[in-house]
Amino acid sequence: MKSWKYIPVCFSLMLVAPIFSQTKNSDAAQTNSTQQAPAKAVHNSQQRDGNTVFEQNCSRCHTTPQGFSPRISGTVVRHMRVRAGLSKEDEQALLRFLNP
């Protein structure tokens, strides 16, 4: 049971490690990850809104799908509306984001 006492220390280290690992690479990494999102070209404010909806409601739970047929984008978004509790406005912004 004694080793249990060391577990909070490990957990604390895991929380702190990412902060110290922030380097100049972080900006490049973030740019890179943005380019991996379904809508690679984000041009206007409506699409940025969709990007925000995606980040705040979808990618908090799961990784970004590596691409899917536009034929099912409406179905994906409706599924997410129910699962993630999106409003109709958020649903439409997300649909525009997936189909720029």
List contacts with another protein (CB under 8 A): 1, 3-4, 7-8, 10-11, 14-15, 17-19, 21-23, 25-26, 28-30, 32-33, 36, 46, 52, 56, 60-63, 65-66, 68-76, 78-79, 81-90, 92, 95-96, 99
Closest CA to 95 of 35, 64, 61, 79: 79
Which is nearer to another protein, 42 or 92 (by Cβ)?
Answer: 92
**How near is the Cβ of 11 to another protein at its closest, in Å?**
5
**How near is the Cβ of 98 to another protein at its closest, in Å?**
9
The DSSP secondary-structure symbol of 60 reads T
Q: Which residue has the tokens 């895991």?
A: 14
User: Are the C-beta atoms of 73 and 99 separated by less than 8 Å?
Assistant: yes
**How near is the Cβ of 14 to another protein at its closest, in Å?**
5
Which is nearer to another protein, 10 or 41 (by Cβ)?
Answer: 10
Name the residue type at position 81.
R
Which is nearer to another protein, 42 or 76 (by Cβ)?
Answer: 76
**Size of the chain, expressed as the number of residues it contains:** 100
User: Are the C-beta atoms of 56 and 49 separated by less than 8 Å?
Assistant: no
